[in-house]
Amino acid sequence: MAIYTNEDVIKLVEELDVRFIRLQFADILGMMKNVAVTRQQLPKILENGAAFDGSSIDGFVRIEESDMILKPDLSTFAVFPWRSQNTRVARLICDVFRTDGKPFMGDPRQVLRKVTERAKKMGYIFNVGPECEFFLFHTNENGTPTLITHDDAGYFDLGPIDLGEDARKNICLALEDMGFEIEASHHEVARGQHEIDFKYEDAMKTADNINTFKLVVKTIAHRSGLHSTFMAKPIFGISGSGMHVNMSLSDLDGENVFCDDDDRYGLSSTAYHFIAGLLKHARGMSAVTNPTVNSYKRLVPGYEAPIYIAWSARNRSPLIRIPATKGKGTRVEMRNPDPMANPYLVLSVLLAAGLDGIENRVEVPEPVNSNIFTMSLKEKQEKQIISLPKDLEEAVEDMKNDPLIKETLGEHIFNSYVEAKELEYKDYSTKIHQWEIDRYLTLY
């Protein structure tokens, strides 16, 4: 992570001939917002921050307490590589503050910072590597997205079958220009579906990277005449998009504390307690890790998406998998999050759940190393395997019943988030959907 001073950033802007700077921040749903300023304004903003109206941002504040201040995180300075030389644009990701100088706890970045600081006091650094999946669709003559996929390829297919190869290449090159280390890119299982994996970082850097990744993918796809979407399940009958989260804890010297070479699975007691915490709070976290009505259309049997709250070192049917890599690479993979989620809040609740497992020495159940999808109901009951919530309404109820989630998010975000999701589900449940028309209009 680059360490810049105000003077360093001003010098970079001048040397690179940057004309505009986007001051980016996220709302409670994880949507990136920005205030754009010219480079002439930059010295003043780096010194004092930039004022904006918080009442216009979902879940922030009421109009009578609307004044907010954006303070740039200098380590996030990056130039957008797709802009032309004479209109070069850079970005700085910002933290949100109140006018009295106190951090605004409706800012998702502040929530993640609070949890990572707690972990650091316990002697841990939270390292995260995401696996972000997305679809590429054609657009029509008006530029409106269609559901016609860009290709009919499958898992790991090559061009010319994989017509998304060029788009993925251009996305990867743009990401590298912005400082990403790309580890792999490939076609995913479903037609038109892709995955690009980038190197793990500490939690805040990873959350910033996920939102930057989404912006780059959408921008490069648009410039290629395509539409990209991170919607969890855009097409019935094929796999949806997930965002598997690979996690580990290191000590303050950088040593992986999840590793124990003498254990049968290569895991330390700390890792087992962390896993137990994730399992304990899996249902309570679901409204954050899987935040939309559509998220639960992905979490159904038959498409490899995790439904059952269990863990394994051998197969991909449970919620949590332990990848084969050992030693420094030892990690825990949480498989239910999807890329519609707010990355700052997802990493916050995952870390908080894991730390709860460690602090309270929660015991992990035995691993489930057989395919849960083929088990009978009786077998699942004998192994005490329960499911994730079936829909957003159930997930929100579980969230409201988990005190750790409320404590982690803070009262402001928790209440605003629950209200937003209850309204979303109510709106969905009162609409008439095409399935109902097809099923009932002529039958009755």
428 φ/ψ angles, rounded to the nearest 5 degrees:
-60, -45
**pLDDT tens per residue, range 390-423:** 999 999 999 999 999 999 999 999 999 999 999 9
100 lies in some domain: yes
152: tokens are 């009919």
Among 275-279, 300-304, 316-320, 366-370, the least confident range = 300-304
1 lies in some domain: no
**Which of 107, 165, 208, 333 is an active site residue?**
333
| 333 is an active site residue | yes
Task: List residues bridging with 182 in a β-sheet.
Answer: 198
**Which of 27, 151, 157, 195 is an active site residue?**
195
Among 169-178, 368-377, 391-400, name the most confident range. Answer: 391-400
Q: Which of 104, 134, 168 is the last residue of a domain?
A: 104
Residues 302 and 343 in one domain: yes
**Which of 83, 118, 314, 316 is an active site residue?**
316
pLDDT at 162: 47
80 lies in some domain: yes
147 lies in some domain: yes
| 264 is an active site residue | no
pLDDT at 64: 42
CA distance 309 to 99: 44
Q: Domain holding 56: CATH number?
A: 3.10.20.70
pLDDT at 58: 65
Which position has the higher pLDDT, 160 or 317? 317
361 lies in some domain: yes
Residues 70 and 120 in one domain: no
Q: Which of 104, 139, 163 is the last residue of a domain?
A: 104
Ranges of beta strands (E only) in 84-225 are 89-98, 125-139, 145-149, 182-187, 193-198, 201-202
61: tokens are 């504040």
| 316 is an active site residue | yes
Residues 285 and 349 in one domain: yes
pLDDT at 305: 86
Among 306-310, 315-319, 348-352, the least confident range = 315-319
Q: What is the pTM of this model?
A: 0.93
Residues 198 and 163 in one domain: yes
| 131 is an active site residue | yes
Residues 329 and 267 in one domain: yes
pLDDT at 65: 53
Give mean pLDDT, residues 231-246.
Answer: 93
Residues 29 and 132 in one domain: no
Report in angstroms the alpha-carbon separations of 133 from 206, 213, 240, 337: 15, 11, 9, 11
Residues 92 and 179 in one domain: no
Residues 219 and 359 in one domain: yes
Task: Look at residue 2 and tell me whether its pLDDT is greater than 80.
Answer: no
Residues 89 and 130 in one domain: no
Q: What is the mean pLDDT of the chain?
A: 90
Residues 237 and 165 in one domain: yes
| 335 is an active site residue | yes
**pLDDT tens per residue, range 247-304:** 999 999 999 999 998 998 999 999 999 999 999 999 999 999 999 999 999 998 877 7
**Which of 244, 273, 281, 283 is an active site residue?**
244
| 304 is an active site residue | no
Residues 18 and 95 in one domain: yes
| 15 is an active site residue | no
Q: Which of 80, 104, 128 is the last residue of a domain?
A: 104
Q: Which range of residues forms the domain containing residue 230?
A: 114-435
Strands 308-312 and 32-38: unpaired
